[in-house]
Amino acid sequence: MTYTRCWYHCHAATMKGGHYSVIEDAAIVVRGERIAWIGPREALPPGAAEAVDLGGAWVTPGLIDCHTHLAFAGERSAEFELRLLEGASYAEIAAHGGGIASTVRATRAASEEQLLDSALRRARQLLRDGVTCLEVKSGYGLDLPGERKLLRVARQLAGRLPLTVRATCLAAHALPPEYAGRADDYIAHVCDELLPALAEEGLVDAVDAYCEHLAFSPAQVERLFRAASALRLPVKLHAEQLSAQGGAQLAARYRALSADHLEYAGEADVAALAAAGTVAVLLPAAFYLLRERQLPPVEALRRHGVPMAVASDLNPGTAPVLSLRLMLAMACTSFGLTPEEALAGVTLHAARALGLVDSHGSLEVGKYADFVAWDIHRPAELAYWLGGELPRQVVFHGLEVTHG
Ligand code: NIG
Ligand code: FE
């Protein structure tokens, strides 16, 4: 057998099947960009290779952040202070022209270069903490030039950093000011013009919307989902975050890749997600930052066998998060996931939420050689430490990543 590189002297949490699926004293053989062999070192097939001694580190698949709004201009720490010091709610701030609308103003005013520059800085931080794949949503442009700028930034990130990037069109994130009082007209514009144009330009991997009382109704989202289906684009949805709207069942009806947030989802919603094979994406940072009390239905998700992903939701309003690993800790402490479930949530199930499960998310032959060697003694440490830098080495598509 010929291969290019071999990593050995490590323990692998392969995450096959969504469990640690540990291989003690493992070796990983890479040919080109893919895993050619993985197993116990003693069974390593003979073959010429450059070998890398990982010194007993634990290896996991590269982490996948399957829900981010990473491209935007400005920041909203003043709203953080308003919520803290004056008890203002997220919805109240949005109703007074703050919230998403304020980031839309800053983003529309920024150049593509400026947006790329700040997105690169944030993506590098995630990468240093073990991320090798992420999703980037638009949603702060809310018109064709603005959404195009954000999706182009998402596309360029992948060329500039050792990361796989999926670009999601979230034009239905909020109502832009020029459409005030005309939400149906805006949705029609998105369906008939904006989305087809961006899809035609090859900038869209999936379509998302914000189904909430302060954003779009299920009927409006359904119209968008029909337009997405006509363009053969998969859908996903911000559903039941602040109130029960019926978004989860709508997402299930359209076989969405994922339904995200889900704090207000009930048993029937979970059953529908299970039947549709839709991933539940849990976002503990927004829950924490908004000091929510309503917990997502984790026990029901488990009982119905709905795959649970965990993501940062990186955005300037509800989740200024620069570490996906910190989300493991929060998913365990706030939502009651086990460290094993949380790790599956940022690997295998996150890959599924992006439609990438055949090539990403676990250490298996044929998948991309994206993995992280961590300075830890047990995999549960990944959900246990708060902060710090634990990766000893990050490998993307078979090559060691050097952080700049
Ligand atoms: O996922 N829910 C809508 N979008 C974001 C918040 C975006 C913002 O406030 O800028 C979220 O929490
Ligand atoms: Fe979000």
Could you state, in order of their start, the residue ranges of all structural domains in the chain? Answer: 5-61+363-401, 64-353
Q: pLDDT confidence of 46, banded at 50, 70, 90?
A: confident
Q: Whose atoms come closest to the Cα of 173: which ligand?
A: 1
Split at pLDDT 50, 70, 90, the class of 402 is confident
Report the mean per-residue pLDDT for the chain.
Answer: 96
Does the beta carbon of 258 sit less than 6 angstroms from any atom of ligand 1? no
pLDDT at 178 over 60: yes
CB of 103 sitting under 6 A from ligand 1: yes
Element (H, E) at 161: none
Taking the centre of ligand 2 as the mean of its atom positions, its distance from the CA of residue 162, in whole angstroms, is 23
In short, whether 379's Cβ falls inside 6 Å of ligand 1 is: no
* pLDDT tens digits, one per residue of 189-242: 999 999 999 999 999 999 999 999 999 999 999 999 999 999 999 999 999 999
Please tell me the residue having the least CA distance from ligand 1 atom 12: 318
Least Cα distance to 340 among 382, 278, 374 occurs for: 382
Looking at 91-100, 157-166, 184-193, 359-368, which range is the least confident one?
91-100
Would you say the CB of residue 318 lies under 6 angstroms from ligand 1? Answer: yes
User: Taking 80 as the threshold, does the pLDDT of residue 171 lie above it?
Assistant: yes
According to CATH, the superfamily of the domain at 5-61+363-401 is Urease, subunit C, domain 1 (2.30.40.10)
pLDDT at 49: 75
Q: What is the pLDDT of residue 336?
A: 98
For 221-248, b/e burial (b = at least 16 CB within 10 A) is bbbbbebbeeeebbbbbbbbbbeebbbb
Does pLDDT of 267 surpass 70? yes
Residue 48 binned pLDDT confidence (cut-offs 50, 70, 90): low
Residue 204, both tokens: 């869209």
Query: Do the beta carbons of residue 27 and residue 40 sit within 8 Å?
Result: yes
- Ordered alpha helix ranges (H), 241-308: 247-253, 267-276, 284-289, 298-303
Q: How far is the CA of 238 from the centre of ligand 2 (A)?
A: 6
Angle, alpha carbons 305-306-309 (nearest 5°): 130
Under CATH, domain 64-353 is a member of which superfamily? Metal-dependent hydrolases (3.20.20.140)
Handedness of CA 307, 311, 315, 320 (dihedral sign): positive
Answer yes or no: are the C-beta atoms of 133 and 349 closer than 8 Å. Answer: no
Nearest ligand 1 atom to the CA of 241 is 2
Q: What is the 3-state secondary structure (H, E, C) of 47-65?
A: CCCEEEEEEEEEEEECEEE
